[in-house]
Amino acid sequence: MMFLSTIRFISNGWVKDLYVLPKYYFTYYGFDWVKPFSENSMYLMFGLLLICSIFIALGLFYRLSASIFFIVFTYIELIDKTNYLNHYYFISLISFVLIFLPANKYFSLDTYFKFTKRQYKIPAWNINIIKLQLGIVYFFAGIAKLNYHWLFEAQPLSNWLKHQTDLPLIGGLMHYNETAFVFSWGGALFDLLIPFVLLSKKTRIYGYMFVIIFHGLTSAMFPIGVFPFVMIISTLIFFSDQFHEKIIRFLKTIFRTKHRNKNVKETKEKFTLNKFSYFMLIAFISIQLLLPFRYLLYKGNLFWTEQGFRFSWRVMLIEKVGYAQFYVHEPKSGRKKLINTNDFLTGQQEKMMATQPDMILQFAHHLRDHYSDTTIIEKNGEKIYLNKPKVTAEVYVGLFNKGSKLFIDPNVNLSEIKRGYHSKSWILEYEK
């Protein structure tokens, strides 16, 4: 699965577009040291991901492959927050969890080559933690949908669906506002309930049908890449071990392996975690449970300010577009220069930045550093020395098609504002 995804990434030329061409990268606060390597090394990284994903699937040098996969994948994602997607975060988390799971103990080449002892039983928490991880994704995506815009305005769906009137079968329903409400409420309920439906043996199969329908539909309607397929495959984990046995048996007949099946009997085995692992497990889970709620610490409308928005499973929640113009000021004369953003950023970076205050600030700082202590020769021959220039931005943002308006204070000197997780008071208020 990850193999195909990586292939898709490379074949679309995205390695070059995202990690070679940009001259500037929007790093994460605290991770500013993460920088891309040369073009060839970046391709090498993606090659490494390919190899690791094959090895993980085959169960060869499993633990090493999983570790490398996690490190390389996370490294690539940390380079530039322009490319942040919830499902990349999901993949990072899962690959982290996989490092600690003995997924190579039964049906794998590691056991075939006797690198590790075959083991028929693994502690239940190994499976449950992945179930929990998936459950968190769905449940929090559901909680995130419990907001005024989603539930009572059916936004952004009511707008998006209007462009879907040409879908086969259901296309004709798309221009009714009721349809948007059904989809909104249905989507929220689906996300909130599906983890529990999948947990219960009785309802599991129906739940999985819903998973396929839900993700199939979203995949047909929106350009959201591999996410639906990742989820469809991942949720198979909820099925019983007998179900997976069948798949393995099927695979074995295909490859005619000589391994004979031994019947695995369900026996409960006592299992104790040592204290350290126990602590780590709790920490890992509770961080994830708390992160999505950090937005409560910030003032203002979450969708407008996006403070505490990332890493919270907020998927397909907002329709937001922005347009930003930056000015570098010469403090002495009060004159300012309009910056051509294309000189510094790619189109995708510019688009993502225009709606996200932390990125606007980062770019303003980049401009400050770029122009600090430089002499600029104007077209008319005038020389202008900039010590520490003032940087301002005029940004228009439209949220939920309510009309674009000024997003941040156009007079505030961004070059003097510190980055970080404190509240950004220079974001103008969002009035409904």
* Angstrom distance (rounded) from CA 316 to CA 18: 22
Question: Does residue 120 bind other proteins (CB under 8 A)?
Answer: no
Question: Does residue 181 bind other proteins (CB under 8 A)?
Answer: yes
* Angstrom distance (rounded) from CA 90 to CA 310: 12
What is the dihedral sign for C-alpha 186, 187, 189, 193? positive
Q: Answer for the pair 406, 382: CB distance below 8 angstroms, yes or no.
A: no
Q: Answer for the pair 95, 53: CB distance below 8 angstroms, yes or no.
A: no
What single string gives the DSSP state of each residue in 241-284?
A: HHHHHHHHHHHHHHHT--PPP-PPP---------HHHHHHHHHH
Question: Does residue 199 bind other proteins (CB under 8 A)?
Answer: yes
Residues 349-368 that bind other proteins (CB under 8 A): 351
Q: Which of 29, 31, 120, 176 binds other proteins (CB under 8 A)?
A: 176
Rounded (10°) angle between helices 124-145 and 275-290: 10
Q: Which of 295, 309, 326, 363 binds other proteins (CB under 8 A)?
A: 309
Question: Does residue 348 bind other proteins (CB under 8 A)?
Answer: yes
Question: Does residue 398 bind other proteins (CB under 8 A)?
Answer: yes
Q: Tell me the window of 13-21, 71-79, 209-217, 287-295 that interacts with other proteins (CB under 8 A).
A: 13-21
Q: Is 382 exposed, middle or buried (0-12, 13-18, 19+ CB in 10 A)?
A: exposed
Q: Which of 4, 21, 23, 172 binds other proteins (CB under 8 A)?
A: 172
Question: Does residue 405 bind other proteins (CB under 8 A)?
Answer: yes
Question: Does residue 165 bind other proteins (CB under 8 A)?
Answer: yes
Least Å from the CB of residue 206 to other proteins: 14
Provide the CA 14 distance to its chain's centre, in angstroms.
16
Nearer to other proteins, 10 or 167 (CB): 167
As a whole number of Å, the end-to-end CA separation of the chain is 43
Least Å from the CB of residue 369 to other proteins: 18
Nearer to other proteins, 38 or 333 (CB): 333
Q: Which of 244, 337, 365, 370 binds other proteins (CB under 8 A)?
A: 337
Nearer to other proteins, 252 or 402 (CB): 402
Paired tokens of 165: 């009137």
Nearest alpha-carbon partner for 295 in 276, 314, 279: 314
* Angstrom distance (rounded) from CA 79 to CA 32: 8
Cis peptide before 156 (omega within 30 of 0): yes
Residues 209-268 that bind other proteins (CB under 8 A): 222-225, 227
Nearer to other proteins, 251 or 289 (CB): 289
Least Å from the CB of residue 112 to other proteins: 32
Nearer to other proteins, 265 or 431 (CB): 431
Least Å from the CB of residue 65 to other proteins: 27
Residues 125-154 that bind other proteins (CB under 8 A): 151
Residues 70-89 that bind other proteins (CB under 8 A): 84-87
Kindly state the number of chain residues that form the binding site for other proteins, as judged by CB under 8 A: 71
